[in-house]
Amino acid sequence: ASLAGPLGRMALNGLTCNHCGGTDIELDAARGDAVCIQCGTVLEENTIVNEVTFETSAGGGSGVVGQFVPSSGLRSSGLGFAKESREVALSNGQRHISQLANALRLSEHHQDAAQRLFQLAVQHNFIQGRKTQHVIAACLYTVCRREKTAHLLIDYSDVLQTNVYMLGSCFLKFTRMLSLTLPIIDPSLYIHRFASRLEFGDKTHFVSMSALRLVQRMKRDWIQTGRRPSGICGAALLIAARIHGFRRTQREVVRVVRICDVTLRKRLIEFSDTSLGQLTANQLGDNEFDLESYGAAPPQKRSISPYLPTS
């Protein structure tokens, strides 16, 4: 088939009118639509094509028919080399995401997922009035929560040198905007990370496994409910260190897990009030001893007021 200028008629294999069955189709390359000549039914409109078509203007010049749509889905302004502010923000955000992900040793999979979330933030105008660093931290931390990696929000605060509470506020607003439901943080994810920093040497694995058993029992005793994972990890690691003969002080544990000493003492007091708090170090360190079922009362959910913050 041949086209005369931007307008023309053609009959393609398989392209017939759905209304009358005619094959006499008029194609307008400028508008990107196809119209049946017999009945006037519009078969296609706003068709996106890969080919570049030029047309001659009234002044004798030539120009491109249609407009360029990038893979990001954000249309350009059509002013030559000018870019929309959203495209600039998207490109800058992708660059900052790569830098922050490399600093936190995150894989390309996490970077790609965070870039898709950042694109949603741009499309919903979430970046307006907020620092780009806060938004990209919220995107990356959301991915880490989904993938259950051993990263805390305070890690992002250290890299960006930003208040952790400001990052937390931005993260909560971002998840609420997208109506995201994220899994609850499991303290077990951070045990090996914190244990490696306490310098247990060859017994790091054994201390970690003992701490994991304690965390699971704390979860059964509802000590973990409403508590930050760092406090649970700190108490479990301190007890596991004493079980294996390491005299780690509370100050050393506090420095590693990044909590205050008052929070650590509260978790230890709560553990001492359980039935396991009455056992000796040898009994707690015995792998054949069933910590899960020893003295465990039937699980009974503890009510926590949403208006009272927990330490």
On whether the CB atoms of residues 97 and 111 are closer than 8 A, the answer is yes
Which residues, 6+ apart, have CB-to-CB distance to 182 below 8 Å?
A: 142, 145, 146, 175
Q: How far is it, in rounded angstroms, from Cα 160 to Cα 248?
A: 31
Confidence check: pLDDT of 299 > 70: no
pLDDT in tens, 114-138: 999 999 999 888 988 899 999 999 9
Nearest to 86 by CA among 132, 50, 134: 132
3-state secondary structure of 28: strand
Confidence check: pLDDT of 52 > 80: no
pLDDT in tens, 239-271: 999 988 898 999 999 999 999 999 999 999 988
pLDDT in tens, 66-123: 665 555 555 544 444 335 677 888 888 889 999 999 999 999 999 999 999 999 999 8
Residue with tokens 């994220």: 182
Confidence check: pLDDT of 219 > 80: yes
pLDDT of residue 48: 58
Lookup: tokens for 265? 């003492």
Any idea of the CA torsion for 95, 96, 99, 105, to the nearest 10 degrees? Answer: -110
On whether the CB atoms of residues 28 and 7 are closer than 8 A, the answer is yes
The percentage of residues in the chain with a pLDDT greater than 90, rounded to a whole number, is 38
pLDDT of residue 78: 47
The percentage of residues in the chain with a pLDDT greater than 70, rounded to a whole number, is 76
In sequence order, the β-bridge partners of residue 139 are none
pLDDT of residue 82: 38
- Collect contacts of 110-113 with beta carbons under 8 A, ≥24 apart: 110/140, 110/143, 110/144, 110/147, 110/149, 113/143, 113/146
Query: How much is the pTM?
Result: 0.63
Residue with tokens 């759905």: 18
Helices 153-160 and 164-178 cross at an angle (nearest 10°) of 120
pLDDT in tens, 137-177: 999 999 999 999 989 999 999 999 999 999 999 999 999 99
